[in-house]
Amino acid sequence: MELTHFRESFPILDRVTWLATPSVAPAARPVSAVLQRALEVWIEGEVRWSEYDTLAQRTRRQFARLLGAGIDQSSVALLQSVA
């Protein structure tokens, strides 16, 4: 993805220059859309934990691939916070 297209994913970058944050990054449109859908599912009581686990495992694979260098997905931990 080109940097210009990546920046367009963050509405706040239309108004400010975001330099850094240790805990609360600006919201990207694709991420906020998925979170909104997750809230709707939760509110409607339609949560299926098996689907969340499937997504979590896919994320582990993608992150391991992003890191490269032969990192196995089992080396990628999923945590709520790293504070």
Per-residue model confidence as pLDDT tens for the chain (83 residues): 787 788 889 888 888 888 777 677 888 999 899 899 989 999 999 888 888 889 889 988 888 888 876 778 888 888 877 66
- Domain ranges within the chain, ordered by starting residue: 3-49+57-75
The answer to whether the Cα torsion of 81, 30, 58, 36 is positive or negative is positive
Q: What was the pLDDT predicted at 43?
A: 94
Coil, helix or strand for 16?
Answer: coil
pTM strictly above 0.85: no
Q: 33 by DSSP, 3-state: which? A: helix
Residue 2, judged by CB atoms within 10 A of its CB (0-12, 13-18, 19+), counts as exposed
